[in-house]
Chains A and B, each alone.
Chain A
Amino acid sequence: DGGITQSPKYLFRKEGQNVTLSCEQNLNHDAMYWYRQDPGQGLRLIYYSQIVNDFQKGDIAEGYSVSREKKESFPLTVTSAQKNPTAFYLCASSNQGSNYGYTFGSGTRLTVV
């Protein structure tokens, strides 16, 4: 079955540590996205990529980095510069055009310990 796989499901980060969240899709979608979800704040866009080897900042990119070396993969690194990383992170993919919707992964919950 086609879909998006996010791993790990739960992740714990110590202060000052960088951690990387994995996102893989087998839908052959061109575009991929990372969103952050906090209670009471809805979903906010961190980074997105429309094509391999290219990506753009979203609304809250500070403290995060991404790469898009393969069409199927769009990993997100939460760096030590991100002061409040505890949140639920969602990866999504889509193709261009009005008849294409977004498909989301099951999410990664990151907690600072």
Chain B
Amino acid sequence: KQEVTQIPAALSVPEGENLVLNCSFTDSAIYNLQWFRQDPGKGLTSLLLIQSSQREQTSGRLNASLDKSSGRSTLYIAASQPGDSATYLCAGVSIKAAGNKLTFGGGTRVLVKP
């Protein structure tokens, strides 16, 4: 069964510093891995989707890498801003899982201090 872990659970950085968020998964047979952002009391907003054949995806200040052999994905946020404060979740779809089900990590709660 796929397990997804995100460490640390919480992170606080000063504005302008680069953010590095880690995600590890136990089953390397994944279709894709997706990073989401969640603001308090809100739904999930998709940030980046990395297909199993890709090693990274970029969107603006965000870059996500995927290393299936080590079971890791990393989300980089360059030049952090207070508006980046949120919870970031990674989730993967295992090839072996029926129904294309997404398995989530517990999230990393980020606070960017002005």
Contact = CB atoms under 8 A, between A and B. Distances in A.
B7 interface: no
A31 B107 CA distance: 24
B31 to A, nearest CB: 4
**Chain A residues touching B, range:** 20 to 34
Contact of B46 (A31, A58, A102): A102
A51 to B, nearest CB: 10
B43 A98 contact: no
Interface stretch (A11-19, A41-49, A66-74, A77-85): A41-49
B100 A96 contact: yes
A58 B51 CA distance: 24
Contacts of A101: 32, 34, 46, 49
Contacts of A58: 101
A96 B98 CA distance: 11
A21 interface: no
Interface residues of B, number: 26
A96 B36 CA distance: 19
Given A97-B31, A101-B32, A45 B46 contact: no
Contacts of A106: 42-43
B97 to A, nearest CB: 10
B104 interface: yes
A28 interface: no
Given A42-B89, A99-B32, 14 more contacts: A92-B102, A98-B31, A98-B51, A98-B53, A100-B32, A101-B32, A101-B46, A102-B44, A102-B46, A102-B91, A104-B44, A104-B46, A105-B43, A107-B41
Interface of A: 6, 31, 33, 42-43, 45, 48, 50, 56, 58, 88, 90, 92, 94, 96-107, 109
| List of 10 A-B pairs having minimum Cβ-Cβ separation, nearest first | A101-B49, A104-B44, A106-B43, A98-B31, A43-B104, A98-B51, A42-B106, A107-B43, A104-B43, A98-B32
